Every structure is written in structure tokens, then in C-alpha cells.
Amino acid sequence: MIPDPRDTPASDAGDKFDDEHYPAYTMGRAAEMLGTTQGFLRSLDEAKLIEPQRSSGGHRRYSRYQLRLAARVRELVDQGTALAAACRIVTLEDQLHEAQQLNAELRQQD
């Protein structure tokens, strides 16, 4: 369940919107921001690329992180890549990015 921002102190609410994983965007707003359809976002959910959180009413809510992944898939699909292949490419790119960040952090500890 997504808490109502009015029930949260102002500083906590600001922290949530700074969090790239906070599900701040409705499906309609997310589709509008990406310039795509809500069906496209549902297809990414079905492909298990992004699994949006659900509001107490059952509506999908997306984070900025999820929207970045969706935008990259859309870019690949627009270039002619099949949806399943685009989802796999984005998953691998994301895993590589995480591994590179972890590697950099470990190097700084040495």
C-alpha cells in the first residue's frame, strides 16, 4: 500500500520523491512521460521486466528507475528490436551497470 503523502512529515515525503525506486507515477502519467501507450507498459509487466507496485486500489505505480528501463526498451523497440529481445538487452545492461558500480565501490575500499 502506498502511503498518503499527507500522512507523512514533509521531510520524509521529500525523501521518498528523491528515491528513484519510490513508486510515484500512475500508469497514465508514466505512459504520457514515455510517449507510449498504457498497453506498452502492461506488456513490460507481462514480460517481467518491470513489476510496478500497486496502490491500495490496485492501480499500477511506477518509479523513476522503472521508467528509465521502460524508456530504454521503447528506444530499442522503435529501432526494430523485438520486445522480448529488448527486455533481455535492458536486463543485461542493468546487471552490467550494477556490477560496474559494485566493482568501483570495492576498488575504493582497497
Q: What is the DSSP string of 35-96?
A: TS-HHHHHHHHHTTS---EE-TTS-EEE-HHHHHHHHHHHHHHHTT--HHHHHHHHHHHHHH
Q: How many CB atoms lie within 10 A of CB 15?
A: 12
Cα end-to-end span (Å), the chain? 41
pLDDT in tens, the chain (110 residues): 444 444 445 445 566 768 889 999 999 999 999 999 999 999 999 999 999 999 889 999 999 999 999 999 999 999 999 999 999 999 999 999 999 999 999 999 97
The answer to whether domain 5-109 has CATH 3.30.710.10 is: no
In this prediction, residue 6 carries a pLDDT of 43
